[in-house]
Amino acid sequence: MDKLRITGGRPLNGEVTISGAKNAALPEICASLLTADPVYLNNVPRLRDVATMRLLLDNMGVQTETHGERGGMSFVAPDSLNPEAPYELVKTMRASVLVLGPLLARFGRAKVSLPGGCAIGSRPVDQHIKGLQAMGAEIVVEHGYMVAQLPQGRSRLKGARIATDMVTVTGTENFLMAAALAEGETVLENAAQEPEIPDLAEMLIAMGAKIEGHGTSRIHIQGVDRLHGCTHQVVADRIEAGTFLCAVAATGGDVVLRHGRADHLDAVIDKLRDAGAEIEAGDGFIRVRASGRLKAQSFRTTEYPGFPTDMQAQFMALNCIATGTSKVTETIFENRFMHVNELVRLGAKIQTDGKVAVIEGIDRLQGATVMATDLRASASLVIAGLVAEGETIVDRIYHLDRGYDQMEAKLRGIGADIERIK
């Protein structure tokens, strides 16, 4: 099992290129199931989750290919494919539930294993099931599988008004894809507004879908008879960009993030500026500069455009060595403080009580061996290792590989003392 060895204390300087967003690429790969025509995606990140999703589509009978070195991939989903997602491929990745909507919309049936993924809370799929049932699907859960089909005599899903009990990103994406081929109009109330949602919608529009309101809490989709192929560029990964912003702010230095989208990171950038980091942004770049200890910042995670739960752990690592005391409130996932015990092993002073963590900033952390527990927790431990005194070993970094495209190579390119141990 691979590990990272980090010797802390080096400021970061130079340029780093932000990859395509995992949380956009995965649903967009699934959207290729909506047509028999070729679908081309550019800027697809090289991640374990992407490889797993590709393997899942391969297993169904989709023809997939990689093109060039800049994240080019193509997908052709024939009419003869097998609309089933087995447990062996789904168990490691919750995003695999995103095949349910497009398979049901195009083929009228699907058998999808209940998914797995990061251990950061229950994240139930009941909202997906309720929404697709509102569109006329018959869905039962048996033997660990969601078995879905259209009623006898129906060839298409039907448009519906879907108001989810909570804001759900993958639910919104599943409904968007299913509604694109449904009969009549679908209205999504309480829709997720994360940048990955309008990016998926723009891809579907390029395929011939009729969608309005994407990027707001109410989306209108007018179903069409068929969709065609397209070429689409995956949007830049705002969480990867935010992670590098926190790393530079914590270690000090001056780094330009190429392809970074500051307009997707308003809440994080505001907190970094309040902490004392200098950040400027323009078309296709973000520049961050920092020196000395920053000021601790309290925040509360919430749905976009609020402070993202996927940046909570990374900013907490920054707060550990900032001046002052901060309070972090996690409102999205119930088990997302698992990195706290590992940060404490590095010397951090953190107290948790339910959904609240109180961090007392200290001068420096001390290197130690720590263990990653989920994707974003692993990123927080890397940041902590970059500022810790001495050597830090981060174990179980397969979590990191699920969501960061060659993170250690990018950090090494801007001056970090970091290497992967096989």
Q: Mind telling me the catalytic residues?
A: 118
Instruction: Find the length of the chain.
Output: 422
The dihedral over CA atoms of 63, 66, 71, 76, expressed in degrees to the nearest 10, equals: -20
- Cα(98)–Cα(30) distance, rounded to whole angstroms? 6
Q: How many CB atoms lie within 10 A of CB 393?
A: 16
Q: Among 257, 246, 324, which Cα is nearest to 290's?
A: 246
- Torsion, CA 412, CA 417, CA 418, CA 422, rounded to 10: 110
**185, β-bridge pairs:** 222
Q: Are strands 12-17 and 253-258 parallel, antiparallel or unpaired?
A: parallel
Cβ contact 196:176 at 8 Å: no
Distances (CA, A) of 306 to 175, 243, 267, 418: 23, 16, 6, 32
Distances (CA, A) of 26 to 44, 94, 199, 353: 9, 11, 12, 34
Cα–Cα distance for residue pair 335/89, rounded to 1 Å:
24
The pair of three-digit structure tokens given for residue 331, joined into one six-digit string: 């409102």
The pair phi, psi for residue 420, each rounded to 5°, is -90, 130
Tokens of 420: 């992967």
Picking from 396, 397, 393, 395, the residue whose alpha carbon sits closest to that of residue 368 is 393
| Contact indicator for 105, 181 with CB cutoff of 8 Å | yes
Q: Which of helix, strand or coil describes residue 274? A: helix
DSSP 8-state symbol, 217: S
Q: Considering only CA atoms, which of 73, 12, 79 is closest in space to residue 277?
A: 12
